[in-house]
Amino acid sequence: MSISCYILLLSRYVESIIVFEDQIRLTFVFLQLLCGHLREQVFSKLYRYNVQAQRIHPILREIDASLGDMCEILNESLAARLAGHLCKALNMAVTHVLLDGGPVRWFSMSDVQTLQEDMEAMAGMFHADGDGLDKISIEKLMKSSLETINLMDTDTGRLISMLKEAKKRPLASDGSLASDPEAIMKVLCHRKDHAASKYLKKEYKIQKKLPNIITSSMSKSFSK
């Protein structure tokens, strides 16, 4: 092998190490921000008891300020990757709050418009009037939260029918929440609705006053 080939292989190896180290640094930054500095605001306070009372805007302001500070010291490529990581992680956190938020989270269909407005605000922050992530990338990164909110916009009767049908079929290969029985049940468990409470109590012995028990009782319910 010629010297030039060795040099080329070595340069690629060094580049791969640099990329790996950058990935570690970026992962540490967004984990420290979401799971450290903003942990209480996201996982404890967001949409607690009332969607209107605990919205996402204070969290977005904190992230926007942090991103602005980081962009001043990172090159353009790393800044874009950090923004992408944060966008995806924040949406995963929001999805967790909506589906696994415990007994302090209750949602009705009337909350959907507010939730959609919050997601639009999030998308706008990461787009930054064209200076941030492109809209197609943002839509892909926000898929989990957007699908969850779309599912929450379904009336209780339809959700019950979807749950019954979903249990009869294998999970869709595309991972769609609309065909995921666990996701549908979690929406029902957090639904501020008498019909949902009545159905869950009758069919699965789940008390709506303790929606966080679904994690432990889900497997038993679906095994019936």
Residue 207 gets the label, from left (phi > 0), alpha (psi -120 to 50) or beta, of beta
Higher pLDDT: 31 or 210? It is: 31
Does the pLDDT at position 2 exceed 60?
A: no
Average pLDDT over residues 117-123: 98
pLDDT score, position 116: 98
Give residue 29's Cα distance to chain centre. Answer: 18
pLDDT in tens, 5-60: 432 333 343 333 334 445 556 665 656 777 778 889 999 999 999 999 899 999 99
What value does the mean pLDDT of the chain take? 81
Secondary structure class of 192 (helix, strand, coil): coil
Q: Has residue 210 got a pLDDT over 80?
A: no
Q: How confident is the model at residue 136 (pLDDT cuts 50, 70, 90)?
A: very high
Q: E strands within 12-72?
A: none
- Of 213, 211, 217, nearest in space to 106 by CA: 211
Token representation of residue 28: 């540490």
Percent of the chain with pLDDT over 70: 77
| Confidence class for position 173, pLDDT limits 50, 70, 90 | low
pLDDT of residue 29: 63
pTM: 0.80
Read off the pLDDT of residues 176-209 as tens digits, 9 standing for 90 and up.
888 899 999 999 999 999 999 999 999 888 776 5
Helix ranges restricted to H, 38-155: 39, 57-71, 76-100, 112-127, 135-141, 143-152
